């Protein structure tokens, strides 16, 4: 193996369809891996109908593998055993990387698993019907994996404790900020018109869901009529009123402009594995208000307004403070420098370290 690139097969299923957090992680990581000569990356998709689309969304040079098999059927099989091994239809590989909580069955390859957060354990009743067995799958996958990647140390510690795995095999691989965020400009008149953006607005970016704290956000926003309107970006449904609106799902390019034009970004989540919008807003020099939970506190690094989850008055005050933010040039520079310390290249390098660790562990 020392005289050839490490052969890596990663689950590219999150690249299909509208990309939220896991999809963006998989896309950015795969772009970096594709540029690294020490790894030879291929990707596989587990979906009955959409697997052929994978080849059209992969980075240049990354080969696609697929099989028209129901993901539900495969997951049910992998819950019981490692059969069918993914090498059966994707070819020989040194490492298989499950990018989205589930590690495919393997024959000889080392297994690496990314666990983004543990919300599925905390609130299993909030899972979609297609994911009701995710808690079981994640536990089995974590036990089988030779290495586990998490986006923060906070998640790593919880994985070790709640999934009962050796902390030594958990690697923290923080997400990155695309350099384009640091030069993003506020939306021009055409883009404002396209999305119906007001002149000033508070912004939420992410998929709607119970853990996102949106009801809390609505109550806090109503408390202060002087706050700018709320704009929601991401897959809905969102409850809106005369002081809020849902701009839908936007492209990565448009998203950068929309974030850059916000008075502040608000992420009132009950729990997050990482909270990438926090860093992306900082890269644009946009103030951030987020929940004081371990992962967001770790990622924010002291450069965000942190508020206790569920405290309506504190969130309203935090938003008012952020909107009135008149930070100095030194604070602005420090905030952006903090965001710049998170790169996708570093994420990829740490992930390759996890691959090599997994190969060594599997061979021992």
Q: Which domain covers residue 83, as residue numbers?
A: 6-176+344-363
Strand order in the sheet with 202-205: 244-248, 230-233, 202-205, 264-267, 288-291, 305-307
Q: Identify whether 1 is part of a domain.
A: no
pLDDT tens digit sequence for 66-110? 767 788 888 888 989 999 999 988 899 999 999 999 999 999 999
Structure tokens belonging to residue 173: 């691989």
On whether both 31 and 161 belong to a single domain, the answer is yes
Where residue 96 sits, what CATH number does that domain have?
3.40.50.2000
Residue 40 and residue 130 in one domain: yes
Domain identity same for 157 and 186: no
Claim to verify: residue 138 and residue 196 sit in the same structural domain: no
At residue 195, φ and ψ (nearest 5 deg) are -105, 5
pLDDT in tens, 181-223: 999 999 999 999 999 999 999 999 998 989 999 999 999 999 9
How many domains are there within the chain?
Answer: 2
| 171 contacts 198 by C-beta, under 8 angstroms | no
254 and 165 within one domain:
no
Query: Does one domain contain both 188 and 216?
Result: yes
DSSP-derived 3-state class of residue 243 = coil
Residues in the chain with pLDDT values less than 50 = 364
Angle between helices 276-283 and 21-34 (to 10 degrees): 70
Do 326 and 211 lie in one domain? The reply is yes
Same domain, 150 and 214: no
Mark whether 251 and 267 lie in a shared domain. yes
CB 203 within 8 A of CB 284: no
Tell me how crowded residue 363 is: count the other CB atoms within 10 A of its CB. 9
């Amino acid at each position: 193996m020392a005289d050839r690139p490490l052969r890596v097969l990663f689950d590219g299923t999150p690249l299909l369809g509208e990309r939220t957090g896991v999809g963006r992680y998989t896309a950015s990581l795969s772009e970096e891996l594709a540029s690294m000569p020490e790894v030879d990356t291929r990707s596989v998709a587990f979906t009955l109908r959409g697997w052929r689309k994978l080849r059209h969304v992969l980075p240049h040079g990354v080969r696609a593998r697929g099989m028209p098999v129901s993901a539900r059927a495969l997951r049910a099989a992998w819950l019981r055993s490692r059969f069918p091994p993914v090498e059966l239809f994707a070819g020989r590989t040194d490492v298989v990387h499950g990018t989205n909580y589930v590690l495919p069955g393997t024959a000889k390859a080392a297994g690496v698993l990314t666990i983004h957060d543990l919300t599925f354990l905390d609130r299993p009743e909030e899972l979609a019907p297609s994911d009701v067995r995710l808690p079981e799958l994640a536990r089995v996958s974590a036990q089988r994996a030779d290495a586990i990647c998490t986006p923060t140390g906070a998640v790593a510690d919880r994985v070790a404790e709640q999934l009962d795995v050796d902390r030594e095999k958990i690697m923290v691989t923080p997400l990155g900020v695309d350099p384009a965020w640091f030069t993003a400009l506020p939306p021009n008149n055409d883009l404002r018109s396209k999305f119906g953006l007001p002149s000033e607005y508070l912004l939420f970016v992410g998929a709607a869901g119970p853990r996102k704290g949106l009801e809390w956000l609505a109550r806090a926003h109503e408390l202060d009529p002087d706050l700018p309107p709320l704009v929601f970006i991401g897959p809905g449904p969102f409850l809106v009123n005369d002081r809020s609106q849902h701009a839908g799902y936007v492209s990565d390019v448009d998203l950068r402009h929309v974030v850059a034009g916000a008075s502040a970004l608000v992420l009132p989540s009950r729990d997050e594995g990482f909270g990438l919008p926090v860093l992306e807003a900082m890269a644009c020099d946009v103030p951030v208000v987020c929940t004081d939970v371990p992962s967001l506190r770790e990622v924010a690094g002291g450069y965000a307004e942190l508020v206790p989850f569920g405290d309506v008055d504190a969130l309203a005050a935090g938003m008012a403070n952020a909107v009135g933010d008149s930070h100095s040039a030194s604070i602005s520079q420090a905030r952006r420098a903090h965001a710049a310390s998170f790169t996708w290249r570093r994420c990829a390098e740490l992930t390759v370290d996890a691959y090599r660790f997994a190969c060594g562990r599997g061979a021992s």
